[in-house]
Amino acid sequence: MRKSDLCVADVYAPYVIRGFRDDPPFAANEFQHNAWFVANLFLKDRPKSRFVKDFPLAWDNVLYESQSLGYVTATHQKGIDYGPTVLTYYYPMCEDPAGRTTLFNYDWKQLADVCLTDLARAHPDIYELTQRIDIMRWGHAMISPRPNFIWSGIRQKAEKPFRNIHFAHTDLSGIALFEEAFYHGLRAAVEILGHGR
């Protein structure tokens, strides 16, 4: 790989690439994003399920009829189904047109209440088990899928290198999935290695 090759996320291009705004190769403002918050709940023990008895927590858990994206059991790879754990809870602000503003106007207690109230529907003992909650707000967390964006041609233009800068991010697929970010990272790496020959 040449020293001059670089890989960046397309959404930041107008802000970090000198000259990008003078003659933009693609419309970065067409990549629209949603705000969300992520909460890490430190529990002194595994929560009981209101619906399924004696079944361990899965790694990825989705709550039925919830606006959240659910939670992951951050200690899942330890291979134990008992004792203290950390749940990482995700809540996008997609339903609220002013989601970013709402998110940043909420204080820690309000966001913790959203999280705990939602989780309590599945785990009634969540309040007693939670020892600490760390919350992080993300103003531009993930690409927001919208009609006609995927096949509009905007994404395809953004995949092309700008000078010696290659773009790689889940945004290039129009949907926020880890697998898409992984794919674009590999694609950009192959492009860069190909240019280095």
Given the structure tokens 């858990």, which residue do they identify? Answer: 61
Average pLDDT of the chain to the nearest whole number: 86
The neighbour count for residue 91, using CB atoms within 10 Å, is: 22
Separation of CA 24 from chain center: 26
State the pTM of this model.
Answer: 0.76
Low-confidence ranges of the chain (pLDDT < 50): 1-7, 197
Q: Are 9 and 170 in contact (CB under 8 A)?
A: no
Residue-level pLDDT at 72: 93
Q: Which of 97, 91, 191 is nearest to 141 (CA)?
A: 91
Q: Are 110 and 104 in contact (CB under 8 A)?
A: no
CATH 3.90.660.20 residue window(s) in the chain: 33-142
- Write out the two tokens for 1: 């790989």
CATH class of the domain comprising 33-142: alpha beta
CA distance 186 to 179: 11
- Write out the two tokens for 165: 């800068």
Residue-level pLDDT at 10: 61
Residue-level pLDDT at 2: 43
